[in-house]
Amino acid sequence: MDHLITNYLTIDQPHKILSQWISEAECRDPNAMIIATNNNSKISTRTVLAKSISHEGVKFYTNYNSAKAQGLIKTGSISATFFWHNLHRQVHIRGTAVKTSREDSVSYWNSRSPASQLSQYISRQSQKCPSKEHLQTLYKEAQETFKDQPVPCPEHWGGFLIKAEAWELWMGQDHRLHDRFLYTMDNGKYIGSRLYP
């Protein structure tokens, strides 16, 4: 146990632990994370997929006109939690979200399947939809429009980079004596601390 604690306390790149745990989680969408945003002083949460994890932070992509994106554009404040029940582990991140470059957004858009591109192209995310039939009609119309050509990335669609200010690793243990480690930036380097469960 002492060896384990020493290792976790000296971690200076917590994003690598996140990537490792995602690779170990044998479940559907192990890269799913619950994000919390602030829009007009109202906190809301939803689940999105992390698409890139690096020393810079965690990236995800969305419709910039959506409620979550509008909250991020206004405040920048965000927190994200990954939880894997089968591993009994979680990672929590707090920080600021900034838009990725247009080039980054288009590059990721082009890696998506045509079906996924079409569904995002027609979506007015977070707005009221008259019916499922209306949505299906829009999808079929878009299929016909882009039958022989690539689906362009909408200007209102793109990525956010969560620039982490703090990382927390949690590992469930017997008798609720869980292991919790907090990493905060100090002079360009993450410093680890153990927290009470």
Label the pairing between strands 89-99 and 77-84: antiparallel
The domain that contains 6 carries what CATH number? 2.30.110.10
Query: Which amino acid type is present at position 87?
Result: L
Instruction: Tell me the three state secondary structure of residue 100.
Output: coil
User: Do residues 85 and 170 make contact, with C-beta atoms less than 8 angstroms apart?
Assistant: no
- Residue 121 inside a domain? The answer is no
> What backbone phi and psi angles, to 5 degrees, belong to 5?
-60, -45
Could you tell me how far CA 147 lies from the centroid of its own chain?
31
Look at residue 39 in the predicted model and tell me its pLDDT: 84
- The range of the structural domain enclosing residue 12 comes to 2-105+157-195
> What backbone phi and psi angles, to 5 degrees, belong to 110?
-70, -15
Instruction: Tell me the three state secondary structure of residue 28.
Output: coil
Look at residue 2 in the predicted model and tell me its pLDDT: 38
Look at residue 1 in the predicted model and tell me its pLDDT: 37
- Residue 86 inside a domain? The answer is yes
- Residue 151 inside a domain? The answer is no
Which residues, other chains included, contact 196 with Cβ-Cβ below 8 Å and sequence gap of 6+?
180
- Residue 133 inside a domain? The answer is no
- Residue 136 inside a domain? The answer is no
Look at residue 5 in the predicted model and tell me its pLDDT: 46
- Predicted TM-score of the model (pTM): 0.91
Beta bridge pairs of residue 78 = 37, 95
User: Do residues 52 and 113 make contact, with C-beta atoms less than 8 angstroms apart?
Assistant: no
- Residue 53 inside a domain? The answer is yes
Beta bridge pairs of residue 140 = none
- Residue 143 inside a domain? The answer is no
Average pLDDT across each block of 10 residues of the chain; the chain has 197 residues. List them in order. 58 92 95 94 94 96 95 96 96 97 97 95 92 96 94 96 96 94 91 93
Beta carbons within 10 angstroms of residue 76's beta carbon: 16
- Residue 126 inside a domain? The answer is no
> Considering its fold, how many domains does the chain have in total?
1
